[in-house]
Structure 1
Amino acid sequence: MSVDSLSPSHLKALGLLLEEGHVTKAAARMRVSQSAMSKILGKLREAFSDDLLVRVGNRLELTERAQAIRPRLEVILGELAAMASEAPFDPAGCRRWFTLAVSDYVAQFVLPDLLCSIHAEAPGIRVSLVTERSDTVVEELVENRIQVASAIEGEGPLPPGVVCRWVGTDSFACVGAKGHPLARNCDMEGYLKAPHVVVTGGSDKAGPIDRALSALGRQRTVALETSLFASAMEVVAQSDFILTIPAHIARHLARRYDADVFPLPFEVPPFRYGLLWHERYRRDAAHAWLRRKLVEQLQDSDYSH
């Protein structure tokens, strides 16, 4: 049996097997016998030339091939379901798995209320949060390793197929420990000489700052790079390091860590922030529902402004 000969029924069975990791449970959901599901699994293994599920102790685990197949399969099954029915999307009956790439700030402050709301309305939707990396996020969207990512404007052109929805505008500000000398008077020389913490993981917030300084023929002193806002603020709050980040994040973190916020001594253009996804999900009802919830949360959350 080859992949080309797989029927929609085979694909549905594969989706249930990968979701449940259990032949009996998958069989029950598909309303077939355990032996019938075992036979289907055998055909699927033959078609993909892979075990797909392997026994580890008392349970079955997905192989690497199965983990790679799963997000693509969910898209296909979603499209098949949409074609088979014109009924409105029902969150309560949806069973999907979405991976979101966001900064630790978004994960810690913006998303918790939303994730609770998603679970209440759509208990069958599973969400995985991974740390966003600006150098790989587009590739991960194209390859369907992630389904939604947060982004800021000015990180280069998007390739065909990647869709962006801007949800807000912001500028940059500096954060320093309470009573930091630069909080009283942040001039260019003081800013450049101060040791800087740079947050690089969450959409590379350093890029616009260093580009603006380069245009002026100047360069700051970067002493620490981290992918996490939380670790950056732990350092800033107990040292003379400073941090340059989006102003709305600066204000909230400064309140949380009892730090000072002060303006940059040079101009950096405002920027937009929003969400990225791949156009393969344009007509995917579950994905559209999820991203609508994300947009609403980014627009309404106190931590986004």
Structure 2
Amino acid sequence: MSVDSLSPSHLKALGLLLEERHVTRAAARMRVSQSAMSKILGKLREAFSDDLLVRVGNRLEPTERARTLQPRLEVILGELEAMAMEVPFDPAECQRWFTFAVSDYVAQFVLPDLLCTLHTEAPGIRVSVITERSETVVEELVENRIQVASAMEGEAPLPPGVVCRWIGTDTFACVGAKGHPLARNCDMEGYLKASHVVVTGGSDKAGPIDRALSARGRQRTVALETSLFASAMEVVTQSDFLLTIPNHIARHLARRYDADVFPLPFEVPPFRYGLLWHERHRRDAAHTWLRRKFETQLKESHYSH
């Protein structure tokens, strides 16, 4: 088999294989069997006279030839998608798989309504949700391992190609058990003496707090890190531990768990929150439609304010 005989389907398969670096996941996204995708990979290797993907430990890694092909391949596939967009997009007929990286809070309280909308308006769109990849979310957007991410504004600038759509602005608040000694008057001494729970994953929730303290030459004691708001609240409501999180999340969780919310004893700059995606999807009608639905849900959900 030669390169000249490759079809658009072969190129799409190659793109998915290089993105996923996993035959089974690439097959699922292409809606073919694992054995069929393995055969396609064999034909691609023959056409390019290169292994393209080689096993390193427990995962597949692209060869140097594959790395040079990938950006050119994205351009070609983007042009093919643009040509396909000349046909009006019909969400009811769309058959796509998207991966979201979101916070535990968004997954629990915001996504259910979005998924109900998809079930009604676009039943062929499937969504995989990841909630514990805050450190690698930008890298995975660049590599197209995820297609949309919820995020809080951080210190580091976004790399070229990653687009942000900020939905709202918020500040931080402190959550403690009902009747917590600091609820009426949380001063710096009491805040620093307390043990703290930190929610990680989905975005940089702890970073702004510790940076603000560090700027004052202070440091808090973190007793527990968890990726789940539910587990954090269970600990907080049964102890004197404190949890410092975005104000809109603090208020909703405090009502749900019957906890107290009170101001921090120091200033932390307001931050923005919203969605991230890669510009490769700027002409992807399905991605644009889904992303706008997500944006609307974030703006209108009472859990976001």
Residue 200 of structure 1 deviates from its aligned partner by: 1.8
Check conservation: 1:97, 1:125, Cα contact below 8 A: yes
Q: Which of 31, 46, 52 is equivalent to 1:20?
A: 31
Q: How does 1:151-166 map to 2 (within 5 A)?
A: 151-166=151-166
Indicate the residue corresponding to 2:256 in structure 1: 256
- Structure 2 SS opposite 1:249: helix
Q: How does 1:209-228 map to 2 (within 5 A)?
A: 209-228=209-228
Q: How does 1:1-305 map to 2 (within 5 A)?
A: 1-2=1-2, 5-11=5-11, 18=28, 19-22=30-33, 43-44=43-44, 46-47=46-47, 79-305=79-305
Pairwise CA RMSD: 3.3
Indicate the residue corresponding to 1:55 in structure 2: none
Q: Distance in 2 between matches of 1:186 and 1:11?
A: 59
Q: Distance in 1 between matches of 2:121 and 2:79?
A: 21
Q: Which amino acid aligns with 1:218?
A: R
Q: Distance in 2 between matches of 1:166 and 1:218?
A: 31
Q: Distance in 2 between matches of 1:10 and 1:236?
A: 53
Q: Distance in 1 between matches of 2:172 and 2:3?
A: 51
Q: Distance in 2 between matches of 1:92 and 1:278?
A: 24
Q: Distance in 2 between matches of 1:178 and 1:41?
A: 59
Q: Which amino acid aligns with 1:121?
A: E
Question: Gapped runs of 5+ residues in structure 1?
Answer: 27-36, 53-62, 67-71
- How far does the alpha carbon of each residue in 1:145-194 deviate from its partner, in whole angstroms, 9 at most, with x for none? 11111111123101111111100000000001111111111011000100
Check conservation: 1:75, 1:281, Cα contact below 8 A: no
Specify whether residues 131 and 4 from structure 1 end up closer, same or farther in structure 2 by C-alpha distance, changes over 3 A only.
farther
- How far does the alpha carbon of each residue in 1:44-66 deviate from its partner, in whole angstroms, 9 at most, with x for none? 5744878x9xxxxxxxxxx9689
TM-score by length of 1: 0.81
Residue 118 of structure 1 deviates from its aligned partner by: 1.1
Q: Distance in 2 between matches of 1:127 and 1:232?
A: 26
Indicate the residue corresponding to 1:69 in structure 2: none
Provide the aligned length of Structure 1 versus Structure 2.
282
Q: Distance in 2 between matches of 1:256 and 1:132?
A: 23
- Structure 1 SS opposite 2:225: strand
Specify whether residues 94 and 221 from structure 1 end up closer, same or farther in structure 2 by C-alpha distance, changes over 3 A only.
same
Indicate the residue corresponding to 1:30 in structure 2: none
Check conservation: 2:171, 2:246, Cα contact below 8 A: yes
- Structure 2 SS opposite 1:264: coil
Residue 129 of structure 1 deviates from its aligned partner by: 0.2
Indicate the residue corresponding to 1:31 in structure 2: none
Q: Which amino acid aligns with 2:32?
A: G
Check conservation: 2:192, 2:219, Cα contact below 8 A: yes
Check conservation: 1:174, 1:242, Cα contact below 8 A: yes
Q: Distance in 1 between matches of 2:172 and 2:270?
A: 7
